[in-house]
Amino acid sequence: MSSHPTLAAERLFAELSGLEPTQRATRLAEACAGNEALREEVEALLDAAERGAAHFDGLRRRLGLDRLEPGPPTREPVSTDQFAPRRAVDALEATGSAVGPYRLIREIGSGGMGSVWLAERVDLLQGRQVALKLPHAVGAAWRRAGLAERLAREREILATLEHPHIARLYDAGLGATGQPYLALEYVQGEPIDRHAQARGLTVRQRIELFLQVCDAVAHAHARLVVHRDLKPGNILVDAEGQVKLLDFGIAKLMEGDAADATELTRELGQVLTPGYAAPEQIEGRPLGTAADVYSLGVVLYELLTGARPYAPGAGGRAALLHAVLQAEPRRPSEAAPDEATRRRLEGDIDTIVLKALKKAPQDRYASVAALADDLRRHLAHEPVLARPDGAAYRARKFAQRHRAAVVAASAALLSLTAGLGIAAWQAVEARAQRDAALRAKALADEQAAAARAAERVAVAEADLSSFLVSDLTAERDGADMLAQLDRALTMVRAQYALQPELRGRMLLSLAQNYRWVSLHERADALFAEAEPLLQAAGQQAALAQLTCIRGTSLARAGALTEARARLASGTAMAMQAGEAAIGAQIECLIESAWTERYASAPRRAAELVGQALALVQRTGRGNSELASEALNQLSRAQFESGQFRAAAESAQRSIEMLQRIGREHTPGLRNAWGMRAKSLREGGQPLQALVAHGAEGRFEPAGPDLPTPMREDYAVTLLRLGRFAEARALADDVRRQTRAQGDPNMERFAAITQLRTAAALGRREDVRRLKTEALALFAPLARASSLRMRALHLAELDAALDLGQAEAAQGALAAARGVLDRLGDPASPQWLDLHRGEARLALLRHDPGAALRALEPALAIAQAQSIDAQASLLMAEVLLLRAQAHRANGDLSASRADAAAAQRHATTSAGPAHPMARLAQSLGT
């Protein structure tokens, strides 16, 4: 199942445990002569035992375990060899015994810190075989407060690691005796190095095998899980040549967060294999993904050469640790087993491996994906992005290691060359200038190609990260997703503390994710933190993007003039950066569209999104999440300008694109379905909207896990369908939810829906109360000529008309008209609501002539806005009002004709039970 100490190591460890230190060292050197791997295994077991003995008594006192009631015996009494392997099977770990919901079948491995058993689950998941890890327990030490909760919490995090090359962690918990267990996927295979050696794989085949490992590690890093113990024994290859990473996340369970080691760490010691551990891991510094990059470098080195970068020599473990921290590794080509392999490794492979093995985390590859990309470039005979260490770098390292000798030699050399230097300079100056010009051109060409390649890599990595985060967003509730983002923020600040330019980019990306889940205040704070870092690094494209995003934030706050100035500045920066900032140019167009929508200029917003989509297509990103989001933005702009058919079609294009590129479980797809549903409803097709709200059966549209805007929109659709009681119950729930979330904007819309449903149900007291509450909620927006104020006045108008309150209706009508007149947009879809309201008010005042006059423009707008002018609830409502006006005017023939047409429209678009269909039927008889 996993890499555990060999039987030879365990036997030697047991022998050495009973010896004095001096005898132990002599016996170890004698027994391990010529066998470095055996020495390392035994030293690791000895180290674990020493740390366990030294820390256990203090640990029990800190945790208060010495005061706990003794529990059922689990293992032999505590002693200084508590972490030594137990070869005798005791009462707890015996074939047929139960540990939690698992029955032990047979032991498949044992080591200094625990044993591994083949086991099967015997409850509801009966029959599934797992590899059950049982860390060696110490009396009642495991039965302490909080451990079960900690294991459960970590299990949920690690359960997100769903990758074909990662052995799954199925379960983590405590058995009846309080001992922790870890249930993992049972894998039959052999370590990657042995697999490659046994099959005589070529260098290319070994790299291709290693790339499977990189893909798996990159997948976990994107979910903020670091392995911390990568080594060949934890990387198995099955009979089909497929890699499986083992123990992914077990190190996290044992160590906890970098800043706060868990009690498990202090009990069992740091999870660390010296030969593969990064320098920062050996020194006990905080760990990030760079530690796994280093370990992968060691694994790749060993996979290609059969040796490791550092050999401990006679000094044993101490010498090995010193080498990892201080010495420079041999080039892989120098450690190659034969001449053919040496030639194959020289150049790119040497460069790639040595970059992964840099001492300082910031000098390594920025990510596992970047390491993998360079390997793929090498296999494709393309230039790699890593560069060999220059002479200056090597000289600086030599000087650091031999400071005193270098100082003395430098003084003598300076004296010797002072006279010769002037003559030499004159002889080579002309030649140097010529060569420098040629080198500069070659370097410029090379750097341009590398920059283009790096941009493609960065775009792909950002797209992958965006997908992973958005996929998590769709599958988790808000609190869990927020915790995930907070963990990512902590990691970014720690890992990139010494790389401000990368930290700025990562903060920008995280801020966008906070913004994605509507946490605008947190996003704005991170944007402000990232801005000076991007400025200092001269990252003009990212700075342009950030400038435009912050412009939209100003527009959201109502500062439209300042917002447009900021957007103009960001757009100019993006244009000046040229082709290198195409992404920023697209972002600025989309952000400008947001601002125009905030300014109630949706047609201008649609034009800007159209420009963004054209640019997306030109850059070859027509099938991407960026393109789908631009389509969603286009759909919103079309919706707000009353182009409901176009809005529904744009949303459908976004849906199909996201499904085509594998984004079926992301918020983007959910939002696209929401826009399609709204567009269908407002375009007169509420029955079709009902289906779209559930994404054709993919989720429950009223489900509490859905975002509140989507639940509120569903309540409006229920209202349009005449399902007033259901709409009211959902609106009540949404309003409670938005109030608890501190989201005043969504609470305003929920209050409007409550007001409309109360009026439709004829609840006068509710209407009076809800109107007062809605006015209080909208008071901060009273001076704004926005969509939200229009929505309030039109809701007041309909509520007053439903209750027959002519004076109240007249006041709301005047307020709504005032807002629409100020906006100066004759195509605004709200004009239909206004004209219908005028007609209803005229009928309430027994003025059918005025009603018919108001219905003329209403009918024209309804026809233009209807997705299907032959079957539209918009048409049904206008025709029904006209039928009533004709009847009041004494024209029964015209009334019956309009009523029949209204019934046909209402029945087709909203069903025969709809109130309009029933009323039209009664008028037509």
List, for residues 153-180, the tens digit of each pLDDT value. 556 556 667 788 888 878 777 777 677 7
- Structural domain for 858, as ranges: 825-925
Among residues 164, 348, 328, 133, the alpha carbon closest in space to that of 240 is found at: 164
Is there a domain that residue 131 lies in?
yes
CATH number at residue 161: 3.30.200.20
| Average pLDDT value over all residues in the chain | 76
Q: Euclidean distance between the first and final Cα of the chain, in Å?
A: 80
Residue 48 burial by Cβ neighbours in a 10 Å radius (0-12, 13-18, 19+): buried
Number of domains in the chain: 3
Residue 36 or residue 663, greater confidence: 36
Is the same domain home to 38 and 130?
Answer: yes
Instruction: Give the Cα separation of 756 and 781 in Å (integer).
Output: 20
Among the candidates 362, 391, 420, a domain finishes at: 391
Contact 470, 667 (CB under 8 A): yes
- Judge whether residue 333 has pLDDT over 90: yes
Confirm whether 805 is domain-assigned.
no
Answer yes or no: do 238 and 300 share one domain. yes
Co-location of 130 and 218 in the same domain: no
Asked if residue 333 and residue 280 are part of one domain, the reply reads: yes
Write out the catalytic residue numbers.
229
Both 200 and 59 in a single domain? no
Radius of gyration of the chain (CA): 35
116: left (phi over 0), alpha (psi -120 to 50) or beta: beta
CATH number of residue 339's parent domain:
1.10.510.10
Whole-number Cα distances in Å, 636 to 88, 486, 612, 628: 69, 30, 15, 12
Percent over 90 (pLDDT), the chain: 28
Beta-strand runs (E) in 280-433: none
Edge-to-edge strand list for the sheet holding 235-237: 190-191, 235-237, 243-245
pLDDT in tens, 221-239: 776 678 888 999 889 998 8
Same domain membership, residue 181 and residue 232: no
Q: What is the pLDDT of residue 814?
A: 92
**Residues 741-770: what's their mean pLDDT?**
90
> Looking at the structure, do residues 86 and 166 belong to the same domain, yes or no?
yes
46 & 9 share domain: yes
Among 376, 391, 406, identify where a domain stops: 391
Q: Are 245 and 234 in contact (CB under 8 A)?
A: yes
Which has more pLDDT, 187 or 726?
726
CA distance 229 to 277: 7
Asked which of 628-642, 776-790, 791-805, 864-878 is least confident by mean pLDDT, the reply is: 776-790
Q: What percent of the chain has pLDDT over 70?
A: 71
What is the predicted pLDDT for the residue at 701? Answer: 83
Confidence grade of residue 209 (pLDDT, cut at 50, 70, 90): very high
Domain termination site, one of 149, 172, 187:
187
Q: What is the pLDDT of residues 33-71, one digit of tens each?
A: 777 777 877 777 666 555 444 433 443 343 333 333 333
Helical pair 764-778 and 787-802, crossing angle rounded to 10 deg: 170
Pairing of strands 114-121, 102-111: antiparallel
Higher pLDDT, 794 or 666: 794
What is the mean predicted confidence (pLDDT) over 281-310? Answer: 88
Q: Are 280 and 287 in contact (CB under 8 A)?
A: yes
Q: Are residues 182 and 223 in the same domain?
A: no
Domain contains 581: no
Most confident of the ranges 263-277, 305-319, 693-707: 693-707
